Amino acid sequence: MSYLLYVGYFGAAAVIFLWLRDARIFFLTGLSGYRKAAYWGVLYGALGTFGLLCTIAGDTFELLGLGLILAALYLQGRMKREKIWTGSESILTRLTGSAKRPQTNKK
């Protein structure tokens, strides 16, 4: 068992975490960029999970699996999203995807 297996675990967990964060922000704000990112996050999560399975399979497919996980992270980071943070938030707020809900004009 190589240390690269642990890198694969962490990478696949990061892909799933970022997908869930995008989905949470979409449900809180309803922004279309996060909706698209959440939908595509399902595909990237599957790619990351498949990469993890390749990494677990053994020494032959270990680097292929890590490459798939890296590709999923790269593609997930390239998605266009709206700016929802002003820059004064804490790291924990941005990490968990806590976003303000849009104001409605209902009386």
Task: Note the pLDDT tens digit of each residue in 21-68.
Answer: 899 888 888 888 889 999 999 999 999 999 999 999 888 889 999 999
Q: What does pTM read for this prediction?
A: 0.82
H or E, element range at 93: helix 91-96
**Would you mind telling me the total number of residues written for the chain in this entry?**
107
Q: Kindly indicate the confidence band of residue 107, based on its pLDDT and cuts at 50, 70 and 90.
A: low
Helix, strand, or coil here: 73? helix
**Mean pLDDT, residues 1-13:** 90
Q: 7: alpha, beta or left, given left = phi > 0 and alpha = psi -120 to 50?
A: alpha
